[in-house]
């Protein structure tokens, strides 16, 4: 088989970002193989909200229509959050309004993965291939080592292996301190039928826009799904007095009792209490994040997605940053002048533009969580929260990604690489 480039690519991790990369590279005629640790049958069924910047990046990658077709939305629509006091009488605090075209899409992770896998030649993906380390061979190529004792040699590795990335270990160096932290935030998740809540007397309107009930050191997100017949509930509890800890023992997801969760939220008012009464079998997710990395590239190993910038999910922006990474990387790798001999220069441009942008969003996500969790009462905090919340999505959603690509190409021309 003949390929459009004189270099080969291996992708470590076939999650949201790894597969998006694989589709774009194979469509451009580049030799690519994906190594995925799991089999997809183990996929957790969580939902992912994609904001306007994520939608633009996926459209730019040419995979948006396939994903939309697998979602339960006919088209992307504005899904702007409202903020409500968790205490009685649930005063309305703030309504997000931002961007010219704030379209968004909510999709189940497995549906996203199914949509993207369908666009790939099955021989490109190898499942149950857990990469354990990466090193450099004598001829200067990269070698991936797998748990089944096999190896794979390639010119370029894209590390898309998520928050506990092995590729990141190569990029930061074996001796560097692991940037993975537990910032003392846990998310309790579950689904509740809308009709049950209505019958039980919940007054707050939950079927229109997504809502966030704000309180002190905790908040609850209510997100209508499946044509608003079901409400996806996520309660975030944070301990801001403790310093961030190093990684907790794995796995980070466990079943918890409803009683435990209700005990944490007993100072909340009428509607959140009823919602928690109906949240059967909640699961508790210990949310991990990264201290910002300065570099996403070393030699010819490049990080995308959570491997490089796993963040707290308070702006619903983690996957979106991953798709921005993928969009920029694909523009660079598929440029007609990119070849094996100039890959280092090309990857250096990715490293110029992506860490500053994604780390800004990472920090903004942590700040957003602190804001939602700082609400004592309407009298004390309503005006402050209205001021501080306004505008925090603008920077995430309205970012001009094409400018970064143009600047990168200009630099490569100026340096006579292109
Ligand atoms: C509670 C919660 C809510 C969220 N909500 C949103 C939201 O609304 N919007 C949003 O944009 N983001 C959200 N996120 C973040 C989003 O889920 C992540 O940013 C996104 O999944 C990252 O995609 P990824 O491809 O980088 O990593 P992943 O999706 O984690 O994929 C990594 C893949 O690599 C594989 N892998 C791991 N290690 C290896 C290895 N050693 N060898 C081979 N394969 C390996 C894994 O099996 C996996 O398939 C949320 C996160 C959480 C925790």
DSSP 210: -
Residue 37 main-chain phi, psi, to 5 deg: -65, -35
Q: How far is ligand 1, taken at its centre, from the CA of residue 162, in Å?
A: 5
What CA–CA distance (Å, rounded) separates 344 from 325?
A: 17
Task: Name the average pLDDT for the chain.
Answer: 94
Q: How far is ligand 1, taken at its centre, from the CA of residue 16, in Å?
A: 7
Pocket test for ligand 1, best of 157, 306, 317, 364 (most atoms within 8 A of CB): 306
Q: How far is ligand 1, taken at its centre, from the CA of residue 348, in Å?
A: 24
Pairing of strands 283-286, 245-246: unpaired
Query: What is the share, in percent, of the chain residues with pLDDT greater than 70?
Result: 99
Q: How far is ligand 1, taken at its centre, from the CA of residue 31, in Å?
A: 24
Mean predicted confidence (pLDDT) in 385-402: 93
Instruction: Using the atom order of ligand 1, give the atom closest to the CA of residue 167.
Output: 41
Q: How confident is the model at residue 387 (pLDDT cuts 50, 70, 90)?
A: very high
Instruction: Using the atom order of ligand 1, give the atom closest to the CA of residue 20.
Output: 25
Query: What is the share, in percent, of the chain residues with pLDDT greater than 90?
Result: 85
| pLDDT value, residue 41 | 57
Instruction: Using the atom order of ligand 1, give the atom closest to the CA of residue 16.
Output: 25
CB-ligand 1 contact for 322 (6 Å cutoff): yes
Asked whether the predicted pLDDT for residue 74 surpasses 90, the reply is no
Return all residues near 136 (Cβ < 8 A) that are at least 6 apart: 142, 143, 299
| pLDDT value, residue 314 | 97
Asked whether the predicted pLDDT for residue 410 surpasses 90, the reply is yes
Mean predicted confidence (pLDDT) in 120-125: 96
- In the chain the domains, ranked by start, together with CATH numbers, are 8-77+100-177+291-414 (3.50.50.60), 181-289 (3.30.9.30)
What CA–CA distance (Å, rounded) separates 11 from 321?
A: 18
Q: Is 138 helix (H, G, I), strand (E, B) or coil?
A: coil
Q: How many beta carbons lie within 10 A of that of residue 377, not counting itself? A: 11
Q: Are 214 and 85 in contact (CB under 8 A)?
A: yes
Asked whether the predicted pLDDT for residue 40 surpasses 80, the reply is no
Return all residues near 85 (Cβ < 8 A) that are at least 6 apart: 91, 93, 213, 214, 215, 269, 375, 377, 378
CB-ligand 1 contact for 330 (6 Å cutoff): no
What CA–CA distance (Å, rounded) separates 285 from 113?
A: 21
CB-ligand 1 contact for 318 (6 Å cutoff): yes
DSSP 2: -
Q: How confident is the model at residue 330 (pLDDT cuts 50, 70, 90)?
A: very high
Q: How confident is the model at residue 104 (pLDDT cuts 50, 70, 90)?
A: confident
- List pLDDT tens digits, range 243-296: 999 999 999 999 999 999 999 999 999 999 999 999 988 999 999 999 999 999
| pLDDT value, residue 87 | 96
Mean predicted confidence (pLDDT) in 206-223: 95
């Amino acid at each position: 088989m003949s390929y459009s480039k004189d270099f080969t690519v291996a992708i470590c991790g076939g999650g949201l970002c790894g597969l998006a990369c694989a589709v774009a590279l194979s469509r451009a005629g580049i030799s690519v193989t994906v190594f995925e640790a799991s089999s997809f049958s183990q996929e957790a069924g969580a939902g992912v909200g994609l904001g306007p910047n994520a939608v633009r990046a996926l459209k730019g990658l040419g995979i948006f229509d396939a994903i939309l077709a697998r979602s339960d939305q006919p088209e992307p629509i504005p899904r702007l959050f409202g903020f409500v006091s968790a205490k009685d009488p649930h005063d309305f605090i703030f309504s997000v309004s931002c961007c010219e075209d704030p379209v968004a899409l909510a999709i189940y992770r497995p549906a996203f993965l199914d949509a993207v896998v369908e666009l790939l030649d099955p021989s490109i993906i190898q499942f149950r291939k857990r990469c354990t380390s990466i090193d450099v061979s004598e001829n200067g190529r990269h070698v991936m080592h797998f748990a089944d004792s096999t190896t794979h040699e390639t010119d370029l590795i894209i590390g898309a292996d998520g928050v506990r990335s092995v590729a990141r270990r190569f990029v930061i160096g074996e001796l560097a301190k692991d940037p993975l932290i537990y910032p003392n935030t846990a998310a309790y998740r579950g689904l509740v039928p809308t009709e049950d809540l209505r019958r039980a007397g919940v007054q707050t309107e939950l079927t229109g826009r997504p809502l966030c009930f704000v309180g002190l050191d905790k908040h609850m997100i209510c997100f209508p799904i499946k044509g608003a017949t079901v409400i996806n509930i996520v309660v975030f509890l944070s301990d801001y007095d403790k310093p961030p800890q190093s990684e907790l023992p794995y796995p980070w997801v466990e079943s918890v009792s409803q009683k435990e969760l209700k005990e944490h939220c007993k100072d909340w008012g009428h509607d959140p209490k009823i919602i928690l009464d109906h949240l059967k079998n909640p699961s508790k997710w210990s949310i991990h994040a990264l201290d910002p990395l300065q570099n996403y590239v070393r030699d010819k190993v490049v990080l995308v997605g959570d491997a490089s910038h796993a963040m707290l999910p308070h702006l619903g922006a983690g996957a979106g940053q991953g798709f921005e990474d993928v969009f920029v990387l694909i523009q660079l790798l598929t440029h007609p002048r990119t070849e094996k001999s100039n890959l280092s220069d090309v990857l250096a441009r990715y490293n110029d533009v992506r860490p500053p942008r994604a780390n800004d969003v990472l920090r903004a996500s942590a700040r957003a969580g602190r804001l939602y969790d700082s609400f004592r009462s309407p009298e004390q905090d309503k005006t402050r929260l209205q001021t501080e919340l306004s505008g925090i999505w603008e920077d995430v959603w309205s970012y001009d990604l094409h400018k970064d690509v143009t600047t990168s190409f200009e630099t490569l021309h100026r340096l006579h690489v292109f």
